[in-house]
Amino acid sequence: AQTVTQSQPEMSVQEAETVTLSCTYDTSESDYYLFWYKQPPSRQMILVIRQEAYKQQNATENRFSVNFQKAAKSFSLKISDSQLGDAAMYFCAYRLMNSGNTPLVFGKGTRLSVIA
């Protein structure tokens, strides 16, 4: 079974600084998606960034970028120029890329605090 591990229950960062959230996963498959979701106090899960495993280039969305290391099964999220609105729970998630449907598998999350 696929598993996703987030080893940092809590992280904090000063406003305008950079922070990296860690994620590792376990799978024997070669084709899959990886995601970072943000869950603010409003509780709605918001997709931050997505990476296809077949792509070597790391995904980037404005201030958010990932470091995808397929061989190491590592998928970290870097947030640059941190803003107060970035404070939230961040979940790493995995899903098989196949013709059927497999559900998202989430990690336990990392709570990010942004200090003004």
Partner 1 sequence: DTGVSQDPRHKITKRGQNVTFRCDPISEHNRLYWYRQTLGQGPEFLTYFQNEAQLEKSRLLSDRFSAERPKGSFSTLEIQRTEQGDSAMYLCASSFVETNEKLFFGSGTQLSVL
- Which residues sit at the interface with partner 1, rule CB under 8 A? 4, 33, 35, 37, 42-47, 50, 91, 93, 95, 97, 101, 103-109
Residue 106 CA to residue 110 CA, distance in Å, equals 11
Residue 95, by phi and psi: left (phi above 0), alpha (psi -120 to 50) or beta? beta
When the beta carbons of 12 and 14 are compared against partner 1, the nearer one is 12
Closest separation in Å from C-beta 80 to partner 1 = 24
Closest separation in Å from C-beta 106 to partner 1 = 3
When the beta carbons of 13 and 107 are compared against partner 1, the nearer one is 107
Closest separation in Å from C-beta 47 to partner 1 = 7
Q: How many CB atoms lie within 10 A of CB 38?
A: 21
Residue 73 CA to residue 28 CA, distance in Å, equals 10
When the beta carbons of 57 and 116 are compared against partner 1, the nearer one is 57
Contacts 24+ apart (CB under 8 A), 50-53: 51/75, 52/97, 53/97
Pairing of strands 10-14, 110-115: parallel
Closest separation in Å from C-beta 98 to partner 1 = 10
When the beta carbons of 50 and 70 are compared against partner 1, the nearer one is 50
